[in-house]
């Protein structure tokens, strides 16, 4: 059995949260890890709109079902997520886009040649997610399992 967990990043803090706060305005980011294979990142920026991106696998790939999630648009997802992070951490958006793109999943099968960090084991999505959050300058939720 894999790892499951959900967190909300809002006002600079991480807290456990089962659902994204879709009824709230203002910037927030919701992270949901499913079975150590999918990390769903939903976010609401300072401006209009919301976004969604995946790390690890997309639901379409994981469940082998095209109706499990909308088709991935990596360019839009990368730009939207990098813009959200740049607004929040006051970072260089172009650099954040480059970093974010290396982490985001698309609708193809996962790369089995992904680095294993020298331990000979598969890279679980919670490890990849922690690395992503650190690279984006958001920190990692307290008691997060890496």
Q: State whether residue 102 is helix, strand or coil.
A: coil
Domain assignment present for residue 128? The answer is yes
Question: Which structural domain, as residue segments, surrounds residue 132?
Answer: 5-136
Domain assignment present for residue 34? The answer is yes
Domain assignment present for residue 143? The answer is no
- Kindly indicate the confidence band of residue 67, based on its pLDDT and cuts at 50, 70 and 90: very high
Q: Do 106 and 96 form a contact (C-beta atoms < 8 A)? A: no
Domain assignment present for residue 31? The answer is yes
Q: Which residue has the tokens 């994981």?
A: 62
Q: Is 91 left (phi over 0), alpha (psi -120 to 50) or beta?
A: beta
pLDDT digits (tens, 9 = 90+) for 2-12: 889 999 999 88
pTM: 0.85
Number of domains in the chain: 1
């Amino acid at each position: 059995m894999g790892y499951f967990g959900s967190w909300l990043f809002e006002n600079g803090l991480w807290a456990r949260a089962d659902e994204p706060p879709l009824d709230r305005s203002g910037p927030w980011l919701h992270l949901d890890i499913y079975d150590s294979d999918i990390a769903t990142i939903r976010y609401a920026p300072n401006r209009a709109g919301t976004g969604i991106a995946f790390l690890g696998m997309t639901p379409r790939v994981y469940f082998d079902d095209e109706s499990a999630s909308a088709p991935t648009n990596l360019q839009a997802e990368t730009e939207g997520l990098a813009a959200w992070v740049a607004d929040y951490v006051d970072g260089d958006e172009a650099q954040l886009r480059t970093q974010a793109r290396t982490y985001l999943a698309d609708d193809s099968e996962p790369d089995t040649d992904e680095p294993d960090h020298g331990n000979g084991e598969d890279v679980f999505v919670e490890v990849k997610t922690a690395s992503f959050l650190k690279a984006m300058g958001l920190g990692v939720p307290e008691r997060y399992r890496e």
